[in-house]
Amino acid sequence: MTPKRIVIVGGGTAGWLAAMMLSDVAARKGWGAAVTVVESSRIGTIGVGEGSTAVFRQMLGHFGLSEAEFLRETGATIKYGIRHRDWRRVGHHYDGPIDDPGLVTGGLPLDAYAVAAGRSVGQAHLFQHLMDKGRAPVALRGGRQVAAGPFHHAYHFDQALVGAWLRRKARGIAVIDDEVAGIETGAAGIAALRMVSGARVEGDFFVDASGFKRALILGLGAEWISYADVLPVNRAMPFWVDLKPGQEIPPMTVAWAQKNGWLWQIPTQERFGMGYVYSDAHIGPEAAQAEVEAALGHKIEPRRDIKIDAGRLRAPWIGNCVALGLASSFLEPLEATSIHGTITQLMMLAEWLPLPDGAARYNAAVGAQVDDFRDFIRLHYVTERRDSGFWCDVAGSLPGALQDRLDLWATRLPRPSDFAPFALGLPHLQGQLYTPVLDGLGLLSRAAARAEMADAPLRDRTRAAHAGLVAEYTRAAGQCLPHRAWLDSLREKVS
């Protein structure tokens, strides 16, 4: 059975992504469904959330939305990856470029070659070179803009501007400005929403995208699985720092480890969105602010004080209701997993909504996905730092699956077969994301890499492929336009 009336509660990024994607699939598959968004102008959106993954760009392409228009109208910038500063030890940094050179080299063990040769695995990534040079993903050839490579980049943006842009792009969606006061339940789950205005909103299928309020799913008895015992930070202090006129815009997120957590730095075209995510078991808000001001060398004005309860719902799909976005799960924003998760979860929902076992498939896949995100984020804390109570405390035990993987990867490098394919072939954590982090933290064994390179013909082929990529990507990045100048040119074209 396909629903005829889909009601989405929440007008944040998750709600409007759901409206766009579900109305699109309903039209393409002939469900004949009407989509309504219920949002409350009295309750704001979260107001942070600024780094995406490459899936966001794929989503724009799927809907035929123009990247140039998106960048121009939302003030977004390009993201090639994340620079991790002071994580392994103070004064050390490593980068996590998000492209996958394995796509163009037919599975040669480039990472093993780099580790055996004592070189950073990032050198064979085009995105590492674009990060280092601060370039746009395009070069000018014969007066035309040509893509630097075949890989999808990600974006940095202001969540509120992107939510408003998605709202403008979504077609044929009814909008109700009201606040959900409660739910009426029936055999299928939710029968109707009771609104603060006194109105009733009926539907066949409901999406709870009401953020941390979880306005629908809690009424269906949803259970929260906390990750507090695994992930150490539980509080966020977002603030903004203006870009200086003419200042170059770095095409990367910076995650800068501090004594009691870490600072994010994400550029849009106007400013750096920044924030300190920290453990309030180790430091209070006032001291945290002082710690940030000392690190940056200037005063800051915190915009909010956000409590983070890291975790996920045991079952995000109950009866005829699916929780999405912050209502479904939340992890510290170290690898931009939240909006990525929302988009991929919507793809699964669109596929499985008509199936009798859709909810079971969905709940199993989303649970595994978010648990994997948790383990990947936890890995970042496996460092040499012991210079504060926070870093000594996080040196404790790891989730079993992560410990098993680290034990295995101490004996050999990660292989594609170590990562199970994700549902529907959707992008998920794989070696190209894990390896730069493992390498940066010094968790890959050079002796094991050398053993993998012992076969001389394989070593020669891999060395040649590696040298070819480094030369090609150095040249390609050198030809690309400066990031800020390119973003400015997109604005000038229409003015």
Taking CB under 6 A as the criterion, the residue among 11, 81, 137, 267 binding ligand FAD is 11
Query: In angstroms, what is the minimal distance from the CB of 231 to ligand FAD?
Result: 13
Q: Using the rule CB under 6 A, is 211 a contact of ligand FAD?
A: yes
Comparison of 104 and 429: residue with beta carbon closer to ligand FAD: 429
Taking CB under 6 A as the criterion, the residue among 20, 33, 51, 82 binding ligand FAD is 51
- Encoding tokens for residue 40? 């409350």
Torsion of CA 483, 486, 488, 491, to 10 degrees: -140
Indicate the residue type of 141: R
Taking CB under 6 A as the criterion, the residue among 250, 261, 275, 431 binding ligand FAD is 275
Tell me the sheet residues that pair with 176: 38
Q: Using the rule CB under 6 A, is 338 a contact of ligand FAD?
A: yes
Tell me the sheet residues that pair with 63: none
Write the interaction track for ligand FAD spanning residues 387-406; mark x where CB under 6 A is met and - where it is not.
Answer: --------------------
Indicate the residue type of 92: H
Q: Using the rule CB under 6 A, is 325 a contact of ligand FAD?
A: yes
Taking CB under 6 A as the criterion, the residue among 8, 19, 22, 40 binding ligand FAD is 40
DSSP 302-342: ----EE---EEES-SEETTEEE-GGGTEE--GGG-HHHHHH
CA distances 241 to 89, 149, 249, 268, Å, are: 26, 32, 13, 11
Which among 34-42, 114-122, 223-231, 436-444 is the span making contact with ligand FAD, rule CB under 6 A? 34-42
Closest C-alpha among 44, 95, 19 to residue 252: 95
* Burial 233-243, CB ≥16 within 10 A → b, else e: bbbbbbbbeeb
Query: In angstroms, what is the minimal distance from the CB of 130 to ligand FAD?
Result: 20
Query: H helices of 29-124, where?
Result: 55-62, 67-74, 110-116
Write the interaction track for ligand FAD spanning residues 52-81; mark x where CB under 6 A is met and - where it is not.
Answer: x-----------------------------
**Interacting residues with ligand FAD between 138 and 177 (CB under 6 A):** 159
How far apart, in whole angstroms, are the C-alpha atoms of residue 131 and residue 126? 9
Strands 5-9 and 205-208: parallel
Q: Using the rule CB under 6 A, is 9 a contact of ligand FAD?
A: yes
Taking CB under 6 A as the criterion, the residue among 6, 7, 13, 274 binding ligand FAD is 13
Tell me the sheet residues that pair with 144: 141
Q: Using the rule CB under 6 A, is 192 a contact of ligand FAD?
A: no
User: Is 477:129 a contact under the CB 8 Å cutoff?
Assistant: yes
How far apart, in whole angstroms, are the C-alpha atoms of residue 38 and residue 183? 13
Closest C-alpha among 424, 419, 450 to residue 435: 419
Query: In angstroms, what is the minimal distance from the CB of 158 to ligand FAD?
Result: 10
Which among 74-82, 210-218, 389-397, 471-479 is the span making contact with ligand FAD, rule CB under 6 A? 210-218
Taking CB under 6 A as the criterion, the residue among 22, 33, 35, 38 binding ligand FAD is 38
How far apart, in whole angstroms, are the C-alpha atoms of residue 122 and residue 125? 5
Tell me the sheet residues that pair with 206: 7, 321
Comparison of 208 and 439: residue with beta carbon closer to ligand FAD: 208
Q: How many residues appear in the chain?
A: 495
Taking CB under 6 A as the criterion, the residue among 213, 412, 461, 463 binding ligand FAD is 213
How far apart, in whole angstroms, are the C-alpha atoms of residue 215 and residue 211? 8
Query: In angstroms, what is the minimal distance from the CB of 43 to ligand FAD?
Result: 4
Q: Using the rule CB under 6 A, is 249 a contact of ligand FAD?
A: no
Which among 50-58, 89-97, 348-356, 477-485 is the span making contact with ligand FAD, rule CB under 6 A? 50-58
Site size with ligand FAD, rule: CB under 6 A: 38
Q: Using the rule CB under 6 A, is 441 a contact of ligand FAD?
A: no
Interface contacts to ligand FAD, rule CB under 6 A? 9-15, 38-40, 43, 45-46, 48-52, 159, 179-180, 209-211, 213, 215, 236, 238, 275, 306, 325-327, 333, 336, 338-339, 342
